Amino acid sequence: MPDLLHEIHIAPSILSADFSRLGDDVEAVLNAGARVIHVDVMDGHFVPNITIGPLIVTALQPLVHGAGALIDVHLMIEHPERYVEAFAGAGANVITVHQEACVHLHRVLMQIREAGAAAGVALNPATPIETLAEVREHCDLVEIMSVNPGFGGQRFIETSLDKIERARAFLPDSVALELDGGVTALNAGALVAAGANLLVAGSSVFGGQDIGEQYAALAQAAGEAV
């Protein structure tokens, strides 16, 4: 598993980027120090929105990997096992599937690793961390959703802070812990202190005039908790 997953990082989500200038926006956060780029994939079934496919990952791969950064793909889709190889082949370093979307979660995690990517599991806000009891030794990353998945710009669900603490105590130390949704400079430090080491941020990075400055503010806030 890439060492970057064990470090503390803000992972900018391109869901909130300007897709008419996606390469420029991603380059801006990479230049500001981002080393994990988060790609949200939605199918209009598992969540009520449709976003992107492997072609975007293929297009971003030279830019992201050229900067020494990782592509972190979050599959908010039904039947994710059908697309694991396509995203791994496109350049995804991490592929995360939803526990709620996988009938045979262990099999899918093994499939992701066999495809050459780190294997992640995401949990919706209402899904207890304890549902991963039988697969926690087979995950490289667990992603806690602190908003209901499907749209960017949502408000952080406050009970997620306690869930992060419980998740960190429940998971092996080798498993990275990612928090996704509602991350700002005001709560980033508390989230890291609770046990998260990867913070997915969309609108708080890409929502203003100076992308690099906004990324730097979040990174500083997260780093202060170390």
State the catalytic residues: 40, 180
End-to-end CA distance of the chain: 22
Contact 218, 183 (CB under 8 A): yes
CA angle, 201 then 146 then 133, to 5°: 120
